[in-house]
Amino acid sequence: MMKKVLYIVLGLVFGVIMYKSEAASWFRIYEMFRFESFHMYGIIGTALVFGIIFIQLIKRFNIKTFDGEPIVIEDKEKSIARYLIGGIIFGLGWALAGACPGPIFVLVGAGFVPIIIVLISAVLGTFVYGLLKDKLPH
């Protein structure tokens, strides 16, 4: 029960960050893909710099989870095709709808009704990927 509340609180913090940083705004995504502002690159770049530092700290000092388990981050499977093709398809959608999966949930909460269409279509897209998975190059 406590854990569930904790995850809801962490999600809430995430939602507020996404909304308040404007990373959940279609306009910022459009601006980013036009290279006309540093804003989005600043967000991702800062997250990345601190993300690398945090993960290096975990590895160097063998930091354990709160439950005392070792933190082992699995390497991603090696491939080029799936990441490049999948990435391009994702990028087309990201630019068109102006939101990636995290912000989609945030915008539903913010009360933008049409984003629900984007959410349902994204679930459908995931489902169709599952159907075609074995026929696609990975």
We find the least distance from the C-beta atom of residue 38 to another protein, in angstroms, to be 7
Residue 64, beta-bridge partner list: 70
Give the nearest distance from C-beta 60 to another protein in angstroms: 14
Please report how close the Cβ of residue 128 comes to another protein at its closest, in angstroms: 6
Nearest approach, Cβ of residue 108 and another protein (Å): 6
Residue with tokens 């090696």: 78
Crossing angle for the helix pair 26-33 and 39-60, to the nearest 10 degrees:
90
Nearer to another protein, 34 or 60 (CB): 34
CB 121 within 8 A of CB 30: no
Which of 60/65 has CB closer to another protein?
65
